[in-house]
């Protein structure tokens, strides 16, 4: 058996993991630099700066984005938005990850209610992953037996 393809796959998985760590580090360093840049802009009384870097000219400037999130619970916010006359902003949804976990657990125990099952398109998605130890009795493997 030629294992070159498998070794290449494992190598790419390792490279991907390394790049994700590098990206997380870059984002953290950018956050740290952003604080200093914003403080410098405020201290110097400027709103932008032209910089030559990496062979081209760039303009850096502060960009403000307004964001909103619930101050208390989602339920309280939903009720307030509906009561204020904007019901179209409220969407009732089931969290996909939570639903997937619920379905796996219910199928593993063969207790998924028929009414719920009839409203679901349940399928498996086959991918290739790399891990150092095999967990043979996972919730997914038990759920697949009852699918």
Note down pLDDT in tens along the chain; length 147 residues: 889 999 999 999 999 999 999 999 999 999 999 999 999 999 999 999 998 998 999 999 999 888 898 999 989 999 999 999 999 999 988 889 999 999 999 999 999 999 999 999 998 887 777 775 555 667 777 777 777
Chain position carrying tokens 């207790």: 111
Comparing CA positions, the residue from 32, 37, 44 lying closest to residue 63 is 37
- What would the two tokens of residue 98 be? 């939570």
* Residue 30 C-alpha from the chain's centroid: 20
Tell me phi and psi for residue 66, to 5 degrees: -90, 135
Query: Which among 11, 42, 6, 10 is positioned nearest to 34, based on CA atoms?
Result: 42
The model's pTM: 0.61
Token pair 């950018």 is at which residue?
A: 30
């Amino acid at each position: 058996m030629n294992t070159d393809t498998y070794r290449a796959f494992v190598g790419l998985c390792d490279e991907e993991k390394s790049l994700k760590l590098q990206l997380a580090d870059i984002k953290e360093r950018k956050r740290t630099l952003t604080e200093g840049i914003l403080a410098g802009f405020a201290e110097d009384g400027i709103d932008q700066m032209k910089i030559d870097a990496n062979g081209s000219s760039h303009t850096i400037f502060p960009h403000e984005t307004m964001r909103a999130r619930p101050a208390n619970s989602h339920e309280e916010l939903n009720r307030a938005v509906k009561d204020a006359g904007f019901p179209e902003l409220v969407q009732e949804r089931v969290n996909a990850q939570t639903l997937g976990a619920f379905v796996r657990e219910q199928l593993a125990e063969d207790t998924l209610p028929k009414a719920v099952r009839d409203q679901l398109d349940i399928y498996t998605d086959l991918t290739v992953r790399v891990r150092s130890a095999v967990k043979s009795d996972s919730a997914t493997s038990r759920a697949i037996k009852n699918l």
